[in-house]
Structure 1
Amino acid sequence: MTTELCNSPWSSTRIYVAGNVASIDDRNYTAAYWTQGNVPSTSSGDVNSGQPWVSGVACKPASLAAQTLDPDSNFSPATLQFLKDNTGFDGEQWNNIMKLINKPEQDSLDWTKYYGYCENIHDDRGYTIGIFGATTGGPNDDGPDAPTLFKEYDAASGASSPSIQGGLSRIGVHGSMSGSILKISDSAKVFCGKINGLQSNAAWREAMWRTFYKVYISYSVQQASQRGFDDALTVGSFVDTALNQGATGDSGSLEGLLSRSGNSSDEKTFMATFYAQRTKIVDTNDYNQSPNGKNRVKEWSTLMNEGITDLKNCDADVIKVTSWTMH
């Protein structure tokens, strides 16, 4: 029998509403209604007890990785400041967003290991590269983002007139643009070997985040903001959708899903519809192998239902919602 993981520890200052979960003394408790300052272990009972907390099963504390204990250390000072200035979210929030994104991408919460990731996963999108899966393009992707990444790398490396070719040359690989598609002329072994070698390259990491922002994050922040939403969980949900299904374009893209999610000004209500719409289409061959897509959406929707919208002080909760099996 598998022991349930503990949610993040109960806080005396946090406001909990019905459905929120917190742990204390290795047991999870679910809030029955609005409550603050009531210790779950002494203010709980069964569902009909009238107490503010409903006692759950015993749980085991989540094991926290070093990157969680000091989330700012996962970013360069320049990247951290760039993200704060342009999104309003700090290192802890972006670290949690990236953990939630990386689970269904790489089956790991240690997203920092994938700056040098490179693979042709034979999805007709060319090579997939880095922490957000930049692609070189192909029949299933006529708007790839890897060309922007290589140009940004050239810029981050000091080029006065950055170019795609300049970035490729700095890495020591060969390719050319065919319309919007970047055709790599090196073998997969050579090309991915060179990309793997950039894992700890500071300019490459900076270029990765600048590209990530330009292609996916900026649009996601804009779409949340124009609806009056400013929670890290909402923006992260949009970013995950955009990089997995495209920011704009067909009905499955972030743009398409948003158009079918209603116009509620209540963030939780809007996002419940958004998650329901995404769940309908996410497990298709174009996006995720079933049931990975539904689990991918469930990560975000569970945190939303539990009121963990700022993605702060929620390390155990993130571990818990990502403790599903990849297929």
Structure 2
Amino acid sequence: MRALSRYGAPVAADPSPERTDMKTFARLAATLVCATALITPATAHAADLNDPRLKDIAMQLVSSAENSSLDWRAQFGYIEDIWDGRGYTAGIIGFCSGTGDMLDLVELYKKRKPGNVLEKYLPALRKVNGTPSHAGLDPNYTKDWKTAAKDSAFRAAQESERDRVYFNPAVKQAKSDGVRALGQFAYYDAIVMHGNGGDRLSFSSIRKRALGKAKPPSQGGNETTWLNAFLDARVWAMKQEPEHEDTSRVDTAQRVFLKNGNLDLKTPLRWKVYGDSYEIK
């Protein structure tokens, strides 16, 4: 007489309880391995921009567009007025004297290191916030900014504010929408350029515009279709401002990765921004 296992498969009768238990355990273990193999690719290995290596790649990608260099750590002392109506643009993420994020950064620096070289400019930064004015900042602000950039406390403050204002909100929203590393970067780059306020060209408005064309994966949509819709909305927003009418940071960078199906931002990466070629091996 042949017995049936718990899975319905016939097994030879074995008078030894110990051997039967061992066979049952082996079958259970094999079943568990098979089930895990089916689940793992869809969950455990999804690329996440919080991974230190991928985060560094994201910083290099942004720096290629903001500073024409992959060396983002060399940008702590960068400062100039690029005449985009936002006053001085500076640091590793383009903090602006006219948009409030530079003011927040210098206030954090004061909190962490009272008496620093930039603290005396806080009254002027409060007055010029929301304007392109340099009143109260010239002629020595740029020189003092570069001096501050040599201070590890100021560099750490820049990274803290970058993460708080731009990186963390972008990655959080992207993960909520169910997109992987490329989508997380696309969100981050959009927040860096457009901010996350409530105006019609902000990141939230760009995402809302994309929702009119497609659904993110978290709502049952296709990831590639959704990211194409998001990038379309991003390009539209960029073209509304003359200083951002060159959309190559999307067209010949992010869109290239998307067309290649590189949703996990796997290296090597090759792209162009403003006609310049870059590569991360």
Q: Distance in 2 between matches of 1:96 and 1:202?
A: 22
- The residue aligned with 1:148 is 104
- 1:92-120 alpha-carbon deviations (Å, 9 max, x no partner): 21221112112221222222211111112
Please, which of 147, 151, 162 is the counterpart of residue 212 of structure 1?
162
- What is the percent sequence identity of the aligned residues? 24
Secondary structure, aligned partner of 1:261: helix
Question: Is the aligned partner of 1:194 residue 2:144?
Answer: yes
- The residue aligned with 1:178 is 127
Q: Which has the higher contact order (CA 8 A, sep 6+)?
A: 1
- Size of the aligned set, in residue pairs, is 218
- The residue aligned with 1:32 is none
Question: Is the aligned partner of 1:311 residue 2:265?
Answer: yes
- The residue aligned with 2:7 is none
- 1:115-135 alpha-carbon deviations (Å, 9 max, x no partner): 111112222212111011111
Q: Distance in 2 between matches of 1:276 and 1:155?
A: 41
TM-score with structure 2 length normalisation? 0.69
Please, which of 104, 113, 127 is the counterpart of residue 74 of structure 2?
113
Question: How far apart are 1:175 and its partner, in Å?
Answer: 4.0
Q: Work out which of the two has the higher radius of gyration on C-alpha atoms and give 1 or 2.
A: 2
Please, which of 207, 216, 231 is the counterpart of residue 264 of structure 1?
216
- 1:188-222 alpha-carbon deviations (Å, 9 max, x no partner): 34100111123332111111111112211222122
Structure 2 counterparts to residues 16-95 of structure 1, below 5 A = 89-95=50-56
Instruction: Report the AA paired with residue 250 of structure 2.
Output: V
Question: Is the aligned partner of 1:235 residue 2:187?
Answer: no
Q: Distance in 2 between matches of 1:187 and 1:218?
A: 30
- The residue aligned with 1:123 is 84
Q: Distance in 2 between matches of 1:128 and 1:109?
A: 18
- The residue aligned with 2:236 is 280
Q: Distance in 2 between matches of 1:186 and 1:174?
A: 7
TM-score with structure 1 length normalisation? 0.60
Q: 1:170 to 1:247 in 2, by over 3 A?
A: same
Moved more, 105-114 or 170-179: 170-179
- The residue aligned with 2:5 is none
Secondary structure, aligned partner of 1:307: coil
- The residue aligned with 1:325 is 275
- 1:136-188 alpha-carbon deviations (Å, 9 max, x no partner): 11xxx4xx21111112212333x5xxxxxx6xx54364341238559765453
- The residue aligned with 1:49 is none
Q: 1:311 to 1:199 in 2, by over 3 A?
A: farther
Stretches of structure 2 lacking an aligned partner (at least 5 in a row): 1-47, 277-281
Q: Distance in 2 between matches of 1:281 and 1:242?
A: 12
Contact 1:149–1:211, Cα closer than 8 Å, also in 2:
yes
